[in-house]
């Protein structure tokens, strides 16, 4: 799973012929679309890595480049031919179209519901995973007539093809054999180079999975990685499959943890039992017996490819998705720190310029922002989870139904701030982190504004904004800027944390509904501020200086 996600809603199914004589006609606003992505160089310090580990990284990057080619075929079978045509074409907008195509890795615009930006093309709803003319009805009637085919047809690691007038499922390992064989060879070279046993085990198992399509063993081994190199490489998310959402797209994140970050993170994790005891709710609602949460790691991304590289960039991922692995070992969340810094500089800092009072803009701070995100993630693991309501055993998630995500995201934000102050009291984090926190937090309330209130994070920040305005912890200046009222801020955060936690502790769906009805409408002043933000980039176009020439 990704965070934050943008839901991909796909238009009705239409099919385009990719015939001879097709000329390239680009949407007229392509230059403006290209400008939505600001190119940022992502760097990291590899000086703490032994030479063997740097060689390991080079093989992982080589494997990732091959994975990118697999993804391009999955996203659209016409990609290789379009790439050739785009490279040869010229005319108005072609240079920007080439760049936009490189960013998306397909001719579909992820920011506009996957609409084509090369006119005349139509995205097949099943991307490259099914025959382009396959309908849901045909797929379903095939399964009804051939029930033994169901598992293979619905498998996340097969493509469905037409063969002699019949449908057939072909495993990824066979369908993309050449590319996956070469990618597997690079993983084995990386395995031979590394001095870390857990990484070696994972890479050898993953190389085998590329051809066998059985990812279970290697997903289990991935949970055990314990070195500085953190790599995700394989088929994971199913958002590209707009027909059924069954098929997993290949992606790669090659990451390196910095020793200083790992040390700080270990210190914060050590505080989790204290944070649970310190929650602003009665003891009976605290989750003091909660087992060790799923692991969280912080790393810098040094290369990404495939689904991970295409379109909007991920700040953090939570994998694997295989429920059998999640049951046995949980899942692991990895926060991509240098990606956060790139987005902070490209997006949050310019938003703060418009949103905060002019005198407050200079108080924004990346390390404070990074800690806010990190403590948000840690705070998801605190507070009520399983509940017993009048003798019935249940979960917060089940009781709060469709409102759960927004309430839980708001809880994690508010509790993140609450816990940062508590950590400061205990001298676990310094004043340099908490002094800028109110300003960083208020600017951050506008960060997710573009997602709208239909999305959990978007609704979660509107709830917080309205409550803090009502409590006087945020003031709107006469000229429409948002200013934290520092002396009221911490108390208001505590009260709001109490309110959200009690909705969860009681499994109080009616209370959640009333809370959203009261606080879920964006205030007018916020709408006006957001209306002034369209020229701020939507996302970053990463440039990995260590491994890419440009
Ligand atoms: Zn969250």
Q: CA-CA distance, 161 to 135, in Å (whole number)? A: 13
Q: CA-CA distance, 400 to 249, in Å (whole number)? A: 31
Q: CA-CA distance, 294 to 484, in Å (whole number)? A: 34
Q: What is the pLDDT of residue 22?
A: 47
| Cα of 261 from ligand 1 centre, angstroms | 20
What letters, b where the CB count within 10 A reaches 16 and e where it falls short, cover 108-146?
bbbbeebbbbbeebbbbbbbbbbbbebeeeebeebeeee
| Cα of 63 from ligand 1 centre, angstroms | 31
Q: What is the pLDDT of residue 2?
A: 53
Q: What is the pLDDT of residue 385?
A: 86
With a CB cutoff of 8 Å and minimum separation 6, the contacts of 276 are: 286, 287, 288, 290, 382, 383
Cα 177 to the chain's mean position, in Å? 29
| Cα of 406 from ligand 1 centre, angstroms | 9
Show the low-confidence residues of the chain (pLDDT under 70). 1-23, 290-293, 449-451, 531-532
Q: CA-CA distance, 13 to 124, in Å (whole number)? A: 7
| Cα of 370 from ligand 1 centre, angstroms | 14
Are 218 and 206 in contact by the 8 Å Cβ rule? The answer is yes
| Cα of 378 from ligand 1 centre, angstroms | 9
Beta bridge partners of 392: 389
pLDDT in tens, 416-465: 999 999 999 999 999 999 999 999 999 998 877 666 777 788 899 999 99
Q: CA-CA distance, 355 to 481, in Å (whole number)? A: 5
Beta bridge partners of 161: 168
Residue 470's region, left for phi above 0, alpha for psi from -120 to 50, else beta, is: alpha
Using CA atoms of 54, 57, 62, 66 in order, give the dihedral in degrees to the nearest 10: 180
| Cα of 338 from ligand 1 centre, angstroms | 19
The angle formed by the CA atoms of residues 104, 108 and 113, to the nearest 5 degrees, is 110
pLDDT in tens, 57-72: 999 999 999 999 999 9
Q: What is the pLDDT of residue 15?
A: 30
Strands 539-544 and 37-42: parallel
Q: CA-CA distance, 413 to 497, in Å (whole number)? A: 9
Q: CA-CA distance, 442 to 534, in Å (whole number)? A: 19
| Cα of 373 from ligand 1 centre, angstroms | 9
Q: What is the pLDDT of residue 457?
A: 83
| Cα of 536 from ligand 1 centre, angstroms | 24
Cα 339 to the chain's mean position, in Å? 11
Q: What is the pLDDT of residue 467?
A: 97
| Cα of 411 from ligand 1 centre, angstroms | 9
DSSP state letters, 45-72: --TTS-HHHHHHHHHHHHHHHHHHHHHH
| Cα of 79 from ligand 1 centre, angstroms | 35
| Cα of 404 from ligand 1 centre, angstroms | 12
410: its two tokens: 């708001």
| Cα of 376 from ligand 1 centre, angstroms | 6
| Cα of 414 from ligand 1 centre, angstroms | 11
| Cα of 96 from ligand 1 centre, angstroms | 34
| Cα of 410 from ligand 1 centre, angstroms | 8
Q: What is the pLDDT of residue 13?
A: 27
| Cα of 315 from ligand 1 centre, angstroms | 11
| Cα of 518 from ligand 1 centre, angstroms | 22
| Cα of 413 from ligand 1 centre, angstroms | 7
| Cα of 227 from ligand 1 centre, angstroms | 26
| Cα of 295 from ligand 1 centre, angstroms | 15
Q: Which residue has the tokens 């810098």?
A: 300
| Cα of 379 from ligand 1 centre, angstroms | 9
| Cα of 412 from ligand 1 centre, angstroms | 6
């Amino acid at each position: 799973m990704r965070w934050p996600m943008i839901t991909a809603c796909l238009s009705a199914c239409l099919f385009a012929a990719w015939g001879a004589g097709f000329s390239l006609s680009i949407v007229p606003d392509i230059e403006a679309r290209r400008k939505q992505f600001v190119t940022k160089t992502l760097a990291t310090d590899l000086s703490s890595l032994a030479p063997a580990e740097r060689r390991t990284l080079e093989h992982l990057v080589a494997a990732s480049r091959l994975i990118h080619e697999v993804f391009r075929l999955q996203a659209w079978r016409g990609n290789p031919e379009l790439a050739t045509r785009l490279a040869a074409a010229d005319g108005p907008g072609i240079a920007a179209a080439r760049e936009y195509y490189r960013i998306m890795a397909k001719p579909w615009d992820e920011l506009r519901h996957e609409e084509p930006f090369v006119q005349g093309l139509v995205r097949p709803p099943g991307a490259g995973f099914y025959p382009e003319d396959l309908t849901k009805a045909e797929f379903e009637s095939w399964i009804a007539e051939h029930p033994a085919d169901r598992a293979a047809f619905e498998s996340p690691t097969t493509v469905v093809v037409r063969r002699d007038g019949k449908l057939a499922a072909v495993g990824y390992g066979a369908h993309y054999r050449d590319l996956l064989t070469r990618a597997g060879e690079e993983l084995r070279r990386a395995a031979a180079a590394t001095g870390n046993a857990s990484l070696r085990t994972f890479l050898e198992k993953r190389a085998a999975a590329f051809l066998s399509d059985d990812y279970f063993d290697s997903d289990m081994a991935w949970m055990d990685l314990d070195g500085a190199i953190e790599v995700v490489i394989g088929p994971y998310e199913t958002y590209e499959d707009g027909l059924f959402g069954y098929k997993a797209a290949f992606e790669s994140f090659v990451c390196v943890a910095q020793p200083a970050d790992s040390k700080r993170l270990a210190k914060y994790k050590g505080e989790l039992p204290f944070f649970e005891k310190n929650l602003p709710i009665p003891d009976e609602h605290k989750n003091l017996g909660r087992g060790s949460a799923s692991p969280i790691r912080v790393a810098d991304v040094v290369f990404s490819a495939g689904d991970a590289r295409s379109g909007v960039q991920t700040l953090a991922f939570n994998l694997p998705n295989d429920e059998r692995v999640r049951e046995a070992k949980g899942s692991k969340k990895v926060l991509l720190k240098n990606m956060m810094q790139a987005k902070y500089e490209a997006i949050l800092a310019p938003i703060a310029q418009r949103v905060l009072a002019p005198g407050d803009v200079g108080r924004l701070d990346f390390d404070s922002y990074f800690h806010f995100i990190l403590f948000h993630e840690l705070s998801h693991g605190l507070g009520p989870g399983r509940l017993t309501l009048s003798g019935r055993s249940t979960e917060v998630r089940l009781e709060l139904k469709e409102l759960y995500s927004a309430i839980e995201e708001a809880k994690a934000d508010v509790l993140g701030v609450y816990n940062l102050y508590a950590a400061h009291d205990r001298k676990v984090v310094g004043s340099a982190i908490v002094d800028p926190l109110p300003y960083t937090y208020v600017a951050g309330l506008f960060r997710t504004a573009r997602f709208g209130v239909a999305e959990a994070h978007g609704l979660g920040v509107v709830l917080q904004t309205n409550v803090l305005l009502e409590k006087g912890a945020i003031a709107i200046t006469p000229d429409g800027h948002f200013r934290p009222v520092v002396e009221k801020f911490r108390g208001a955060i505590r009260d709001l944390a109490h309110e959200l936690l009690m909705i969860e502790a009681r499994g109080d769906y009616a209370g959640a509904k009333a809370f959203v009805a009261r606080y879920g409408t964006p205030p007018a002043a916020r709408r006006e501020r957001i209306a002034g933000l369209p020229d701020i980039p939507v996302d970053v176009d990463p440039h990995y200086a260590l491994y890419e020439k440009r």
